[in-house]
Structure 1
Amino acid sequence: MKLYLISNDITLRSRWIGILSSLHPTTLSEFSFDIATPSIIMITDQVLADVSDDTLKQFFKNRVMILSMTPNFTEAQRFLALGAMGYGNAMMHGSHLYSVYQALEEGKIWLHPDFITLMISQMHDRNNSKEKSLEILASLSKREQEVALMLGDGATHQEISDVLDITVRTVKAHATAIYQKLNVKDRLALSLLLHT
Structure 2
Amino acid sequence: MNHCFVDRDALPLPTWLEAFPRARVMRREQLGLLPSGEPVVLWVRLRSGETLDSAMPPAALAAWQLLVLLADEPDDEVVADALGRGASGCCNTHAAPEVLQQVALVVGNGGLWVGQSLLRRLVGGTSRALAARSERPPRVDWSTVLSEREVQVARLVAGGASNREVADQLSITERTVKAHLSAIFEKLGLRDRLQLSLRINGVQV
TM superposition score category, shorter chain reference: 0.5 to 0.7
Q: 1:58-137, aligned counterparts within 5 Å?
A: 58-59=62-63, 61-127=64-130, 128-131=132-135
User: 2:44–2:68: 8 Å Cα contact kept in structure 1?
Assistant: yes
Runs (4 or more) in structure 1 with deviation over 4 Å come to 9-12, 131-134, 188-191
Distance 2:159 2:61 in 1: 28
Aligned equivalent of 1:184: 160
Identity of aligned residues (%): 14
Aligned equivalent of 1:42: 43
Q: Deviation per CA, 1:118-141, whole angstroms, max 9, x where unpaired? A: 22233344334335699xxxxxxx
Q: CA deviation at 1:11?
A: 6.4
| Change beyond 3 A, Cα 1:12–1:124 | farther
Structure of larger gyration radius:
1
| Change beyond 3 A, Cα 1:56–1:16 | same
Aligned equivalent of 2:58: 54
| Change beyond 3 A, Cα 1:133–1:65 | farther
Aligned equivalent of 1:17: 17
User: RMSD in angstroms over aligned alpha carbons?
Assistant: 3.6
Distance 2:26 2:11 in 1: 13
Distance 1:49 1:91 in 2: 21
TM-score (structure 1 length as normaliser): 0.59
User: 2:10–2:26: 8 Å Cα contact kept in structure 1?
Assistant: no
Q: Deviation per CA, 1:22-61, whole angstroms, max 9, x where unpaired? A: xx211113342322322111111238552676335414x3
